[in-house]
Homo-oligomer: A and B are copies of this chain.
Amino acid sequence: MSRDTATAEVAAAPTVAELRRSLAAWRRAGEAVALVPTMGALHAGHLALVARARTQARRVVASIFVNPTQFGPGEDLTRYPRDPTGDRCKLAEAGCDLAFMPTVAEMYPDGFVARIDPGPLAATLEGRFRPGHFAGVATIVAKLLLQALPDVAVFGEKDYQQLLIIRRVARDLDIPVQIEGVPTVRESDGLALSSRNAYLTADERARAPLLHRTLRDVARRHAGGDAAAAGAGTRALLAAGFAKVDYLEVRDAETLDAPHAARPARVLAAAWLGKTRLIDNIALVP
């Protein structure tokens, strides 16, 4: 299980009991633990989370679990990309100590019913288009945090609303963990790395970087006082071949309420290229 054992694949724990056994040994040795929750199909964005985790703790656990309760009916649960062997090789190379890879039955045994309602932050933006999504996220992340009780847990800013909700839930429920956010990793053309980018056709992939470029335009124009910047950005995406824009909005960076000039803001969007839904967000630089 230790980093010293040379293996091509990181050790895997398929059960909570095995996860806790490894963690208990590290705890006894006085080693801090960081957790990186993922749904697998790992890319450089995930590996940046592992790299950050390694700066925070001696031991790093990555979880790989495609959580069914955060997918709505008609969403891409069954075709969500999976690559457990590739994931374990990447994690080993990134210096991760353990992959926690539970089954659905391990996480949701017969009779499972409890659910965490993250409150109003979950109702806006993504929440309007994916009802129940953030309750599913909050519940599974709380479970992972309570299974591992890490010192630190690391999440990407790519899922910015999710990061805010996880911070809120951890604070409200007094989960004793520090939540770390890591900036989005992008392709050289600006496209945010995402496991779902694998769904894009060549033509869609060529158009996809426009999402990030548009967010930057909106941020610059909004910071310059143009209150219509987000609407113009939406029209630009549609004109460039995006099939639909679920939302493109400037929001307060902490509350996701309407932005205030004096406070940090964030530009967030979800837009469709063909059958693929992309999300992205950036800080608004005043």
Binding site for B on A (CB under 8 A): 16, 20, 111-121, 138-139, 142-143, 146-147, 149, 168-169, 172-176
Given contacts A113-B121, A147-B174, 7 further A-B contacts (CB under 8 A): A113-B119, A113-B172, A114-B116, A114-B117, A115-B117, A139-B173, A146-B173
Q: Are A169 and B117 in contact (CB under 8 A)?
A: no
Report chain B residues within 8 Å CB of A147.
Answer: 174
* Most chain B CB neighbours (cut-off 10 Å) among A114, A118, A139, A149: A114
Q: Are B114 and A173 in contact (CB under 8 A)?
A: yes
Beyond A114-B119, A115-B119, A119-B113, is A143–B173 a contact (Cβ under 8 Å)? yes
Least CB distance, A115 to chain B, in whole angstroms = 5
Report chain B residues within 8 Å CB of A120.
Answer: 113
Could you name 13 residue pairs across A and B whose Cβ atoms are closer than 8 Å?
A: A16-B174, A113-B118, A113-B119, A113-B168, A113-B172, A114-B168, A115-B116, A115-B119, A116-B173, A139-B173, A143-B174, A146-B146, A146-B173
Least CB distance, A140 to chain B, in whole angstroms = 10
Q: How far is the CA of A138 from the CA of B173 in the complex (A)?
A: 11
By beta carbon, the residue of chain B nearest A121 is B113
Q: Are A114 and B169 in contact (CB under 8 A)?
A: yes
By beta carbon, the residue of chain B nearest A165 is B114
